[in-house]
Amino acid sequence: MPLPRFAALRSDEVNMRVGPSTSYPIEWTFQRRDLPVQIIGEFQLWRRIRDADGAEGWVHSSTLAGRRTALVRPAGPGPEVMLRRRAEEAASPVARLRPGVIARLRECGAESPWCEVQVAGHRGFLRRAEIWGVGAAEEIK
């Protein structure tokens, strides 16, 4: 599969190591299932990942899931992002999302500024610029 690409953490405890083996020390332990990460390298069954804050390290491929998620990261000065009923700025809000909320990606049109997501029981649209976990022109169906 091409690099870079996105994946999600499979469990609530994933060790990120300094190198691609259990003989390397653990640098960080992620404690958030479904957190999106970007795979930037591969070595056998190990994946070099980058998180939304830019931290990089190695995790075993079994700790990653193919499901697509995104992390809410407001692009503007406001403390919240509006989940909209339709893919347009004037659409009514479905929910207000705080930074750090994880959304399940349902669909993103190629080069569309909007992605359809699901957060808990709410479905709607977020601007691509307000989430981390999808490429700028990536299409998700």
Confidence of residue 76 (pLDDT cuts 50, 70, 90): confident
Predicted pLDDT at 126: 97
Cα distance between residue 86 and residue 94, in whole Å: 9
CATH class, domain 71-132, is: mainly beta
Cα–Cα distances in angstroms (integers) from residue 98 to residues 9, 58, 122, 141, in the given order: 20, 29, 14, 25
Q: Give the residue range(s) of CATH 2.30.30.40 domains in the chain.
A: 5-66, 71-132
| Exposure of 42 in the CB half-sphere (CA atoms within 13 A) | 12
What value does the mean pLDDT take over residues 18-38?
98
Q: Residue 111 above 90 pLDDT?
A: no
Predicted pLDDT at 72: 97
Confidence of residue 77 (pLDDT cuts 50, 70, 90): confident
Least confident of 1-10, 32-41, 53-62, 74-83: 74-83
% of the chain exceeding 90 in pLDDT: 92
**Per-residue pLDDT tens digits for 36-62:** 999 999 999 999 999 999 999 999 999
pTM across the whole model = 0.93
Predicted pLDDT at 92: 98
Q: Residue 100 above 90 pLDDT?
A: yes
Fold of 5-66: SH3 type barrels. (2.30.30)
